[in-house]
Structure 1
Amino acid sequence: MLRTFEIDPWKIVTHKLDKENKRLQESMTSIGNGYMGMRGMFEEDYSADTHSGIYIGGVWYPDKTVVGWWKNGYPKYFGKVINAVNFDKINVWLNDEKLDLATTPIEDFELSLDMQSGILTRKFTVVKHDRRVRFTIQRFVSIAQKQLFDVNYQIENLGETPVTVKLVSEINADVFNEDSNYDEKFWNVKTKAVTADSGYLIAETKPNNFGTPQFTVGMQMTHKTNLKALSSIEEDKRIGNQFQGTLAAKDQAQFEKRVIVVTSRDYDDDATLKAGMTVLSDQVTQATHEQLVAAQQAEWAKRWHKADVQITGDAAAQQGIRFNLFQLFSTFYGEDKRLNIGPKGFTGEKYGGATYWDTEGFALPLYLSLADKKVSENLLEYRYNQLPGAFHNAREQGLKGALYPMVTFNGIENHNEWEITFEEIHRNGTIAYAIYNYTRYTGDETYLKAKGIDVLTAISRFWADRVHWSERKGVYMIHGVTGPNEYENNVNNNWYTNMLAQWTLKYTLASLAKVTERKRDELAVTADEKAHWQDIIDKMYLPEDKELGIFVQNDCFLDKDLQPVTKIPQDQLPINQHWSWDKILRSPYIKQADVLQGIWYFIDRFPESVKKRNFDFYEPLTVHESSLSACVHAILAADLRYEDKAVEMYERTARLDLDNYNNDTVDGLHITSMTGSWLAIVQGFAGMRVQDGRLSFKPFLPKKWTSYRFRVNFRERLIEVQVNAQGTQVKLLKGEPLTIDLDEQPLALKGAD
């Protein structure tokens, strides 16, 4: 653990420029608006260690798959998010000395991200010789106008000696990716123009050999300042404007940079892109800075009105849940159904920045409760629209039906590690589970009957082809897989994978009975095919140990040297940073919930005794080195009323990045797992369930807390739940009357009088 920011309920704030952990601070102070975002790097050049990164939703590049030994079925390319043209850059000179916070002496440093407004503020005072110059720098990406970036400088001369201030504001296409593609550069400038105080640049990603689209971005900057425009800069990949002025004692300089960012995702050609960029730039130029800030604050207030979780008695817990909700909504709020939720969002390049099964498994439940229903529909539409790619992926493996990718931008598998691409096929089951989860929560079967059934049928055909019949044991099996526990590869009969395959077939058969005859004819599921699916359902092998009373993670798991995590020396944790991969694979240690993942999905279908035996067996073997691990364990622990363990796991998932639990936040935040803190509170501590269309709660109050409060959308209602020492109060804030269950007793909600 490493805590580099102070505890504050609404801010991520530090008063220390931590040069040793600069990248960690940059990750933590990332901002975004679903359309674009950036790490918390400084505007000006910084000569020490830093990771400058700006990313735009849906803009990526296919990197050729390079392996030592090519295997049939490998993806031809690995899709990766790319560092966008840098529109944030501003360099500063004081009396002809360039500002560089790695070397320039400063005092009174403050870095603060206001989560209520999405505004990042940096303050410091430059102290050199007899000069004292105070800087206040604020920036945000607007959620009121998605194409807008705004940065505002206030520079004050606190000393008695005049100071000359020069700022150079740039748009620079000479950028590279650090984590992905190994310092490769991707942008070719197509056209640019600059005046004394404004300019634009249009760039295109370099060509690729895989037939995927090239992307064009256009960026237009304007400035408002009381400094004098000096001259312009125009180079091969860079444009800039220079401004200068002399500040007498106590004088201030005001400098604001506004940038409009557009992409070819929304325009047909360069001419319409440039015209659209100009129109948007002209529109935002009419507003004052105060009006832009007010619009930003108002839009965030609307989101927080629905989503805020209020905790009293534990400030660290409060900060953690708000930080995670803030970063989630900065990454995705569902406006664009072409986009999804990357594991790092706009905070870094690791994992390629694409879509994983995290969305369906962990993010969808949160968005169902905290955002408009259309947001969840868009997430389902995203997968439906990529069904052709899933068919392609299955064919590449020589199989029927559809195999959804582990990593993708366009539906085609973009991951090139064999144990992932070929073996981690449990992802297919979670795509099906998301359709079930949406339908169960909303009560709306429209998507299921019109489009979801296409996805379910295609996935079921994959499972029916992927299983094999064991003549010796008289059961269906699935060999050669990797389950959610990626610390075991190429195992046979992973319980979670087999169970999801069985469940998907069963759910698909039940869903086929609900669609129209015309739709069934279109899908062409024959009687023989349905009979085969039913046979697999009836005879699927699900490994179980009767003596221990547990589901067995895979065929050989119990043959390992089953020592608890407490036996590992502390200086060898996390094991993925200290042990060889060979040692990890041979160990009994579990990266994240595996069997317990399946129990969580269907938490109310298992008796308490079964949940208890499995949790008691597997949790002590789990190192929680996946960001997706702690929340599942928190929910199950809460369900079993293991309150201390539930709170421990909540704290881990809520502050995974804020406290750098796994020593890996330097390269970006764990965006998709940030849903875990909300799930741990709402499904865990508050015990929210939906059974047979009925909403229920069974809350408890953690010992360190004095109360907590949250809101959920449920079937056109807005419901507020407050838990404190006196008990639980549930209010219907909006919508028609509803009866729910509270602590297993019916409660009629009638709304405000």
Structure 2
Amino acid sequence: MTPTPAPAIPASPHDTDAWRLRQDRHDPALRRRDETLFALANGSLGVRGGFEEADGGSDGSFLASVFEQHPIHYHERFPGFARSTDTRLPVADGQRIAVWLGAQRLDIDAAQWLAFERELDLRSGLLHRRVRLKTAQGHGIEIRAERVLPFDSGAAGVDLLAIRYTVASIDYTGPVTLASAIECGHAAAEQGDDPRIGVASAEGLQLLSRQADRRSADVVQATRRSGVRVVCSQAHRLGEGVSFGEAEIGEEHVAQRYLAQLQPGQAATIEKFVVYATDTNPHATDLPAHAAQALHQAVADGFDAIAARQAASLAQFWDGAELFIDGDAAAEQALRFNLFHLLQSAGRDGVNGTAAKGLTGEGYEGHYFWDTEAFMLPVMAYTAPDVARAMLHARFLALEPARKHAREMNHPRGALFPWRTITGGECSAHYPSGSAAYHINAAVAYGLGLYLDATGDLDFLVECGAEILFETARIWPQIGHFNPRRGGAFCIHEVTGPDEYTALVDNNFYTNRMAQQHLLRAVRVWEQLRRERPEQLQALAQRLQLDPHEIDTWRRAGERMFLHYDDALGIYAQDDTFLDKPRWPFPKHEGEHRPLLLDYHPLTLYRHQICKQADVVMALVLAGDGIGADVKRRSYDYYEAVTTHDSTLSASVFGILASEVGHAEQAAKFFGDNLRVDLDDLHGNTDHGVHMAALAGTWLGLASGFAGLRTSDGVLKFAPTLPRQWRGFGFGLRWQGRRLRLRVDRDGVEYTLLDGAALRIEHAGRAIELSAQTPVRVALAQPGSRPGDDGKLAFPRPAQALIFDLDGVLTDTAQTHYRAWKRMADEEGLPFDQHVNEQLKGVDRMNSLEIILRHAGKVLSAEQKLALAERKNGYYVEAIAQVTPKDLFPGVERVLEQARARGLKLGLASASRNAAALLDRLGIADRFDYIADAARIARAKPAPDIFLDVAAALGVAPSLCIGLEDAAAGVVAIKTAGMAAIGIGDAATLARADACLPDIASFDLNAFVSP
């Protein structure tokens, strides 16, 4: 009998219970994705969410501490190149329970699925599954499985998985055998050509010994080179009517078989407990004893007690990290799902790092990156500070390898954390995007600083934090200098920022800005310890051979850090040459999102203005204090247009800054893009594990984006806004030993200090004093607002030029264009109406024709398309021959006269190749200093090319131009060019404009341009 699974459905709730991830259908084609989504972990052990009775396949178990080391082979090997890489290996898989009905083993892929449900309870951490099957032999049975993986297994280096497994008979009569096994022999996944999976292949763990008897079964495994040893043991509690059958020792597995007799309505249940004990000492002999002790305790406790302990642990977490969204249960569920996965995979033992894919799959070979401190750790600092402390302690334990890496990179002192690693050494063979990413040091310092602000943990600072901060700060003076050609500013050379599509540059803005914050934080910590812990500081300084002269160098470098500001565009330049490069000329792939790095040589990427992810924008989010709103807004607009968001790290950062600068719709869009990146497998690689930093980014999008959460000088700051799609939202956080709750609705914001001493926070720039259990209610902040500007760009402002669109701004030829297109379309039998015509606004002739043809589903040759476009143009030219000055919109002549009297230059940026002729017919051609030649503009709006062309011809910096447009694409083009945008028309359609007017007659030059 062939399997008949029901079709797949999105992993989203069917009801309003946003505490559960539920499925009621199963699609074998999505099995790998679902194994990731339903995985359980505790920061040390991760178990993918497969079916106990199924073949293991891509299912499996991972331990954060179990990895193999492999040499990296180069044909040209130079000093400092990474010599080896680490790969996390699957360990013995203890979740397997095969079901035998008589002499036939159950094959669920050959069975008929009568009913299915799977549920992950995010409140308790319990995974439940129920499936009703008709076997290939015609027997009806039901399988019920529950599992939990507790955060606290009772002993360091010991982890526990608990399973309760039941087989119930619907119409089957006969014997049933539950063969509970530990399976070995799993090798690392095939890496293929996708670098997001990894580059190394690895053989599996060695099986050193195995045994099984009535009481327990276990295996001992070891790596071949890295010196890690693992013991995996299992034992059981048996339900009524179940008895031990026999033990089995196979080539790559051990098993214990349990027997029962079933009749319809009867069930057989076992509780299975699997313990892992690990040690990095390959000669460790006490692991079996540790595993046996933990296993004995687990069996004595039983499944319910273990599940209750895990539920209590999670209840304590959710008590401080509660969150809700009023009006969007699916978004609320996704946020909780993301935060749950982040919490369970974050390293909490203080030894192991937190990998980019957590413990849910084999993506990136189990490596961790700067994502850990830049994205994940901040969420933990606000919601689970003990976990954040453990994550930082793991970095502290990696200081010695970081010192070694610094020496490999020719730095005589200090520590340099690697780009990607498991054990602390650099694992990247591609140094331009690996070792050159010195910003990792700054990310660790950022995470450390945020933890210290959030907790005031002076003991950790003395024990670990100051040493991390000082040793990493020492690197900056070694890769930069006080440059006399830049007026003595401190410049940093040959580094790679977060944008991996731009490598080996001078003065990467993100790196310089974050290094500046790092150095100044290190100086403040030195001064703090000199005041509060002078003896400990003296001991540390002696051990590190650190003196006040070096601290003074840090201070001067921080204060004189070069931050490249481009006056022409009014934005921060990503680096010294980024803005000089041409924009990306190649077309985007249609359909599935496919990163450019999979199809283009790195040098091709490096030669263009193209960003993989947030870079300058990232700096403006993490270290934006003191940078003006106008600069942030212009920088956002410019870089958003050249960013592909090929990294899942990007959307949340852009969304946070969009919210800050008042682009509410874009903020909501980016939040949505990031919210279900794994639930809907938006990047096509959730099979390899969840995207931990992206999951963290959704919480940051809520808190730092919509709620405006920032910290500055140890003070919590908020500026909450409410997305129009929601009725309200709220979340809790922990701060300096207190619990704080924020609730936002249409009527305002309510802050409640749930416990602890009084707290001063800031709301929209205003200080608020909170006392325990006394809510304070205030009005919502205005998106992107500053006093008096109602959320828009501050006017009046300095300007030297006005650049106008033509159609819809100066006159109305929309119907003329429509009639010309309509005439041509009717002649060719192409469907065309006003709805399609709306898509042509602001679009040039050939691209307009492409839209019409795409709508009609028709493909033509280049010659045929050119002929149609020329025919339409002929109809249009024939029509505009009747245009006279009377066709100008009211107010146009007044605006042009006022501008000319003010000494402003005037330009026209129209996609029409007939613009000059039309202006002549309107009688205003002589008023303009330059009219764009659309024929030589390579890319149409929303690309900024035509506005930049006009600004260059006028000899005016884009930041000193104001563009006037009636089309959304045109407004995007203006903003991307770094200009202020005034929309003419519908405010909702032109939401990205800095100001919007109903018509050109409403334009008052004095209200928008400084005298």
TM-score (normalizing by structure 1):
0.92
Tell me the distance in 2 between the aligned counterparts of 1:57 and 1:249.
44
The alpha carbon displacement at 1:68 in A equals 4.0
Does the alignment pair 1:5 with 2:11?
yes
Does the alignment pair 1:574 with 2:594?
yes
Does the alignment pair 1:609 with 2:609?
no
Tell me: CA distance 1:677–1:564, structure 2 relative to 1, closer, same or farther (3 Å). Answer: farther
TM-score (normalizing by structure 2):
0.69
Partner secondary structure for residue 122 of structure 1: strand
Equivalent residue number for residue 141 of structure 1: 149
Partner secondary structure for residue 65 of structure 2: coil
Tell me, yes or no, if the aligned pair for 2:376 and 2:692 is still in contact at 8 Å: no
The alpha carbon displacement at 1:338 in A equals 0.8
Tell me the distance in 2 between the aligned counterparts of 1:533 and 1:338.
30
Equivalent residue number for residue 386 of structure 1: 398
Tell me, yes or no, if the aligned pair for 1:3 and 1:658 is still in contact at 8 Å: no
Tell me, yes or no, if the aligned pair for 1:481 and 1:489 is still in contact at 8 Å: yes
Tell me the distance in 2 between the aligned counterparts of 1:289 and 1:523.
50
Partner secondary structure for residue 324 of structure 1: helix
Deviations 1:212-233 (A, max 9, x none): 4332324233342433332211
**1:78-157 correspondence runs (5 A):** 78-128=85-135, 130-145=138-153, 147-157=159-169
Equivalent residue number for residue 685 of structure 1: 706
Tell me the distance in 2 between the aligned counterparts of 1:718 and 1:527.
39
Partner secondary structure for residue 120 of structure 2: strand
Does the alignment pair 1:28 with 2:37?
yes
**1:33-52 correspondence runs (5 A):** 33-46=42-55, 50-52=57-59
Partner secondary structure for residue 723 of structure 1: strand
Partner secondary structure for residue 686 of structure 2: coil
Deviations 1:374-408 (A, max 9, x none): 43333333223322211111110112322111222
Aligned match for 2:758, one of 734, 737, 744: 737
Partner secondary structure for residue 695 of structure 2: helix
Tell me the distance in 1 between the aligned counterparts of 2:599 and 2:732.
43
Tell me the distance in 2 between the aligned counterparts of 1:103 and 1:93.
14
Tell me, yes or no, if the aligned pair for 2:235 and 2:299 is still in contact at 8 Å: no
Aligned partner letter, 1:16: R
Tell me the distance in 2 between the aligned counterparts of 1:446 and 1:168.
51
Equivalent residue number for residue 346 of structure 1: 359
Deviates more, 1:92-101 or 1:726-735: 92-101
Tell me: CA distance 1:675–1:539, structure 2 relative to 1, closer, same or farther (3 Å). Answer: same
Aligned partner letter, 2:265: K
The alpha carbon displacement at 1:337 in A equals 1.0
**1:539-550 correspondence runs (5 A):** 540-550=561-571
Tell me the distance in 2 between the aligned counterparts of 1:329 and 1:578.
31
Deviations 1:471-493 (A, max 9, x none): 65565543332210112223333
Deviations 1:431-468 (A, max 9, x none): 22223223333345554455433333322321111125
Rg (Cα) greater in structure = 2
Aligned match for 2:748, one of 723, 727, 732: 727
The alpha carbon displacement at 1:291 in A equals 2.7
Tell me the distance in 2 between the aligned counterparts of 1:447 and 1:285.
37
Equivalent residue number for residue 863 of structure 2: none
Aligned partner letter, 1:406: W
Aligned match for 1:256, one of 255, 268, 271: 271
**1:205-354 correspondence runs (5 A):** 205-206=223-224, 208=225, 212-225=226-239, 226-264=241-279, 270-332=284-346, 334=348, 336-354=349-367
The alpha carbon displacement at 1:522 in A equals 4.6
Tell me, yes or no, if the aligned pair for 2:426 and 2:435 is still in contact at 8 Å: no
Equivalent residue number for residue 592 of structure 1: 613
Does the alignment pair 1:701 with 2:719?
no
Tell me the distance in 1 between the aligned counterparts of 2:505 and 2:613.
16
Deviates more, 1:570-579 or 1:717-726: 570-579
Partner secondary structure for residue 57 of structure 1: strand
Tell me the distance in 2 between the aligned counterparts of 1:222 and 1:32.
21
The alpha carbon displacement at 1:553 in A equals 0.9
Does the alignment pair 1:553 with 2:586?
no
Aligned match for 1:507, one of 521, 528, 538: 521
Deviates more, 1:380-389 or 1:548-557: 380-389
Partner secondary structure for residue 145 of structure 2: strand
Aligned partner letter, 1:193: Q
Tell me the distance in 2 between the aligned counterparts of 1:686 and 1:620.
25
Partner secondary structure for residue 696 of structure 1: strand
Tell me: CA distance 1:222–1:191, structure 2 relative to 1, closer, same or farther (3 Å). Answer: farther
Does the alignment pair 1:464 with 2:484?
no
Tell me, yes or no, if the aligned pair for 1:194 and 1:233 is still in contact at 8 Å: yes
Deviations 1:627-655 (A, max 9, x none): 21112112111112222111111122221
Does the alignment pair 1:189 with 2:197?
no
Deviates more, 1:361-370 or 1:185-194: 185-194
Does the alignment pair 1:421 with 2:434?
yes
Tell me: CA distance 1:614–1:46, structure 2 relative to 1, closer, same or farther (3 Å). Answer: same
Tell me, yes or no, if the aligned pair for 1:425 and 1:497 is still in contact at 8 Å: yes
Does the alignment pair 1:482 with 2:496?
yes
Tell me: CA distance 1:126–1:662, structure 2 relative to 1, closer, same or farther (3 Å). Answer: same
Tell me: CA distance 1:408–1:333, structure 2 relative to 1, closer, same or farther (3 Å). Answer: closer
Aligned partner letter, 2:709: M
Aligned match for 1:666, one of 687, 695, 702: 687
The alpha carbon displacement at 1:333 in A equals 6.3
The alpha carbon displacement at 1:594 in A equals 0.4
Deviations 1:225-267 (A, max 9, x none): 43333221113432111223331122212122111222226x9
Tell me: CA distance 1:649–1:184, structure 2 relative to 1, closer, same or farther (3 Å). Answer: same
Does the alignment pair 1:15 with 2:24?
yes
Tell me, yes or no, if the aligned pair for 1:189 and 1:201 is still in contact at 8 Å: yes
Partner secondary structure for residue 351 of structure 2: coil
Deviates more, 1:289-298 or 1:272-281: 289-298
Aligned partner letter, 2:448: I
Does the alignment pair 1:355 with 2:373?
no
The alpha carbon displacement at 1:165 in A equals 2.1
Deviates more, 1:88-97 or 1:474-483: 474-483
Deviations 1:69-114 (A, max 9, x none): 3232122211121101111122122343322333222221222222
Tell me: CA distance 1:96–1:422, structure 2 relative to 1, closer, same or farther (3 Å). Answer: same
The alpha carbon displacement at 1:531 in A equals 5.5
Tell me, yes or no, if the aligned pair for 1:53 and 1:347 is still in contact at 8 Å: no
Equivalent residue number for residue 454 of structure 1: 467
Aligned partner letter, 1:244: L
Tell me the distance in 1 between the aligned counterparts of 2:559 and 2:295.
62
Tell me: CA distance 1:145–1:573, structure 2 relative to 1, closer, same or farther (3 Å). Answer: closer
Name structure 1 gaps, 5 residues minimum. none
Equivalent residue number for residue 888 of structure 2: none
Relative contact order, CA 8 A, sep 6+: which one is greater?
A: 1
Equivalent residue number for residue 631 of structure 1: 652
The alpha carbon displacement at 1:526 in A equals 4.8
Tell me the distance in 1 between the aligned counterparts of 2:629 and 2:342.
33
Tell me: CA distance 1:325–1:634, structure 2 relative to 1, closer, same or farther (3 Å). Answer: same
Deviations 1:638-697 (A, max 9, x none): 112222111111122221111212122111111233111111111111112233333232
Tell me: CA distance 1:60–1:449, structure 2 relative to 1, closer, same or farther (3 Å). Answer: same
CA RMSD of aligned residues (A): 2.7
